[in-house]
Amino acid sequence: MEIVFSRGLLKKCMENYAEALEEFDTIRRQDFDRHDCWELSVECLQKLGDREGLKNLYAETWDIAEPKGREWLQTLIVKNIAQMDSHLRPEHETLELYLQKDPDNGIMRYAFASALEKSGDRPAAYKLFEELATSSQSYSHIQANAWFRMALLVSPEKQDQLLQQCLKQQPSHQGAKELLKNKPQTAEVMELPIQNSAKNTEKMKTNPNLPKGSPLKVSVVVPNWNGLRFVGMCLDSLAKLDFEGHEIIVVDNGSTDGSREMIEEQYPWVRLLKLPDNMGFAIACNEGIKASNAEYIVLLNNDIEVTPNWLRELYEGMERHPECGMGTTKMMFLDQRDVFYNTGDLFHSWSSGGGRGQGEKDTGQYEKEDYVFGACAGAGIYRRKFFNQVGLFDEDFFIFAEDVDLNMRGQLQGLKAVYLPKAKVFHIGTATVGLYSDRYVYLCKRNDIWVFIKNYSLSMYFKYLTSIWKHQFADIKYFTYRGQGQVLWKSKWGALKMLPQMLFRRFQIQRSRTLPDSEIKEHIITD
């Protein structure tokens, strides 16, 4: 069945929607619980403009036994029909017609309320959200969101009770948490890293390195997992920055070594986000990005020492280069301060990233601002609109090559990267995951495969096919010699298990790209 699914995804990626639809239909008619195939069938029909096909698909959904899944799919189909019929009637009217057939479909009622709000009828939308939120029927899966949407429709002074109801229903609701957290803050306080206690507030007021009334320009996001040995060094150096208008956000990945508690006690001016477990570098970065309201986001490894002018040079460099979506740092080894670690990310044709200049002694060869393939996420700066256009880090990567994937997506969107040599840092490197540990090998080699699956066009894949396979076989030989052959094979199997999902993401990336292969290839190093 998975072969049929992969075949369908390939046909969909090639925009052969009719044949892809046949493959997905084959699967879902044998297994009604394959909701992914239902959703892909809807997308294919929407691409084909087949309104009757969508109506027929809606009729088939009544054979789905699980009610919440059925209601979700029915709502998805009706929303697509409503969009196709929008030249005939407003979308909320189409939703209302189908609701008359199934008035107990809570998800469709929620979509109807959203459509009413979109049409400008906010009182009617509020009333519907209220009915859902307070209903005794089994709408628990959407009631928290209904409370939240009600809060967005009222004045700020009336929001608290509605948001509390939302959190009572769903304590993890991030939107309600953020809205409650930000509501009581004045404009000046929102520009500062936030802690709650009176003791910490007093420390914040006396910290000379925090912005004093200046607008928030940059959020520095520092992911941390069990970084007790070095995160203090990182934060101490950040406290000496000569740039105002910034905040420091540490995203702790469920540390168990005391580093989280140490940050709370010794660095009260840091805005600390606490994740429940080690969810990976990619998720930590994404959570920090989503928590920021700044124009620029800087990502910084927790084992890096920055220079006092580092952030100012990054910010001013990006202001000089409005054509760039990201900028990168002059990164040196911490224990060999005249040896380069990274002066911008490289990309090799066999789908592997690398650091430009790594291991070279500094003789002045990298003192010029110039374009590079991408930014190293260990100390890179990004415009907010870069993430809005390209998307966040792929969270399935966990750690390693997630920035290579992001850089390639940025290149495909025509967003340049600039190397800013006056912004200097010192890096330990592979501090959280040891160099060539089994975990390091598994994650790196698995993620390298995902990078080219997602980002190479078919013509690029065939152009670099020899290079890709040459290095795959070289890896087998090398890591078998090191006694890590089994780890390498596991990494390849781990990559293949996610092939359908990666092919789907590839389709989305290739569909939205703006640059041709000819302009991408100039950044690719071939052997």
pLDDT single digits (tens) 294-312:
999 999 999 999 999 999 9
Cα 436–442–443 angle (5° rounding)? 95
Report the C-alpha gap between 452 and 450 in whole angstroms: 6
At residue 310, the pLDDT reads 97
Report the C-alpha gap between 233 and 464 in whole angstroms: 42
At residue 214, the pLDDT reads 62
**For residue 210, is pLDDT > 60?**
no
DSSP labels, 397-417? G-SSSHHHHHHHHHHHTT-EE
At residue 196, the pLDDT reads 32
Report the C-alpha gap between 82 and 88 in whole angstroms: 9
pLDDT single digits (tens) 2-25:
677 777 777 776 778 898 889 888
470-476: Cβ within 8 A, 24+ apart: 470/350, 470/527, 471/348, 471/350, 471/352, 471/527, 472/350, 475/445
pLDDT single digits (tens) 253-305:
988 888 888 998 888 889 999 988 888 888 999 999 999 989 999 999 999 99
Listed in order, the ranges of the chain carrying CATH 3.90.550.10 are 191-527
Cα 392–397–398 angle (5° rounding)? 95
Q: Which 8-state DSSP code applies to residue 371?
A: E
pLDDT, greater one: 439 or 96 = 96
Instruction: Tell me the pLDDT band of 138, cut-offs 50, 70 and 90.
Output: low
Report the C-alpha gap between 435 and 349 in whole angstroms: 23
> Residue 155 — φ and ψ, nearest 5°?
-70, 155
At residue 191, the pLDDT reads 30
Q: Which of 261, 276, 386 is nearest to 328 (CA)?
A: 386
Q: Which 8-state DSSP code applies to residue 208?
A: T
At residue 250, the pLDDT reads 96
At residue 189, the pLDDT reads 27
pLDDT single digits (tens) 55-112:
999 999 888 888 888 888 888 899 889 988 888 888 889 999 998 888 888 889 888 9
Sort strands 340-342 and 524-525 into parallel, antiparallel or unpaired. Answer: unpaired
Report the C-alpha gap between 426 and 452 in whole angstroms: 30
Question: What's the Cα-to-Cα distance from 281 to each of 220, 288, 499, rounded to whole Å?
Answer: 15, 11, 22
Q: Which of 82, 92, 95 is nearest to 42 (CA)?
A: 82
Mean pLDDT over 427-442 rounds to 68
Instruction: Tell me the pLDDT band of 410, cut-offs 50, 70 and 90.
Output: very high
C-alpha radius of gyration, the chain, whole number: 25
Q: 391: left (phi > 0), else alpha (psi -120 to 50), else beta?
A: left
Q: Which of 521, 375, 393 is nearest to 457 (CA)?
A: 521
Amino acid at 54: L
At residue 525, the pLDDT reads 80
Amino acid at 316: E
Amino acid at 45: L
At residue 365, the pLDDT reads 94
**For residue 213, is pLDDT > 70?**
no
Q: What is the topology classification, in CATH, of domain 2-181?
A: 1.25.40
pLDDT single digits (tens) 36-62:
788 888 888 988 999 899 999 999 988
At residue 233, the pLDDT reads 93
**For residue 203, is pLDDT > 90?**
no
Instruction: Tell me the pLDDT band of 330, cut-offs 50, 70 and 90.
Output: very high
Cα 83–140–169 angle (5° rounding)? 115
**For residue 511, is pLDDT > 50?**
yes
Cα 55–57–61 angle (5° rounding)? 115
Report the C-alpha gap between 399 and 401 in whole angstroms: 7
Instruction: Tell me the pLDDT band of 243, cut-offs 50, 70 and 90.
Output: very high
> b/e per residue, 398-424, with b = 16+ CB within 10 A?
bbbbbbbbbbbbbbbbebbbbbbbbbb
* Non-local CB neighbours of 424 within 8 Å, separated by 6+ positions: 306, 307, 310, 313, 329, 330, 331, 332
Q: Which of 31-40, 182-191, 384-393 ranks highest by mean pLDDT?
A: 384-393
pLDDT single digits (tens) 467-503:
888 888 888 888 888 888 888 898 889 888 888 888 8
**For residue 407, is pLDDT > 70?**
yes
What is the reported pTM? 0.60
pLDDT, greater one: 144 or 200 = 144
Range name among 231-240, 365-374, 400-409, 516-525 with the lowest pLDDT average: 516-525
Instruction: Tell me the pLDDT band of 422, cut-offs 50, 70 and 90.
Output: very high
For the chain, the straight-line distance linking the first and the last C-alpha, in angstroms and rounded, comes to: 39
Residue identified by tokens 């009217």 is 93
pLDDT single digits (tens) 174-193:
667 767 776 543 323 223 23
Listed in order, the ranges of the chain carrying CATH 1.25.40.10 are 2-181
Domain at 191-527, CATH from 3.30.420.40, 3.40.50.10490, 3.30.2310.20, 3.90.550.10: 3.90.550.10
Strand partners for 382: 297, 326
